[in-house]
Amino acid sequence: MDSELNILTQSVLKFRDDRNWAQYHNLKDLAVCLNIEAGELLELFLWKNSEEVNKAKLKEELADVFYATLLLAHESGIDLSLALTEKLKSNEIKYPIEKSYGKREKYDEI
Ligand SMILES: [Mg+2]
């Protein structure tokens, strides 16, 4: 059974492979790509408050970040669904509700 994430990953891989770009998709360059796209997203907020951000551009940059994330996860053999599930479990331990509810401090400060 294909999950939505697997279907999206297959679409991203087809887009890439139709253009013969896999040759450039080593882990280092995918990590660089992911961070550049995250930077482009962050740039949308520069000198603006949250209400002023262009939502159409935000949508595009989020998609770029997601695209790079799916490729990096695929190329590194990481099951992104499992990774997120495990990270949430880890964060539940780091941030127990009774200690972190309504607080913004980092786990080692609560
Ligand atoms: Mg972009």
Q: Give the integer Cα–Cα distance in Å for 11 and 64.
A: 14
Fold exhibited by the domain 1-78? Helix Hairpins (1.10.287)
Global model pTM greater than 0.75: yes
pLDDT value at residue 2:
78
Distance from the alpha carbon of residue 17 to the mean position of ligand 1, in angstroms:
20
72 with 9: CB under 8 angstroms?
no
Distance from the alpha carbon of residue 45 to the mean position of ligand 1, in angstroms:
14
End-to-end CA distance of the chain: 41
Q: Domain spans of the chain?
A: 1-78, 80-110
pLDDT value at residue 71:
98
Query: Residue holding tokens 């940059």?
Result: 61
The pLDDT tens digits for 61-105 are: 999 999 999 999 999 999 999 999 999 999 999 999 999 999 999
Distance from the alpha carbon of residue 70 to the mean position of ligand 1, in angstroms:
15
The pLDDT tens digits for 41-64 are: 999 999 999 999 999 999 999 999
What type of residue sits at position 77? G
Distance from the alpha carbon of residue 38 to the mean position of ligand 1, in angstroms:
8
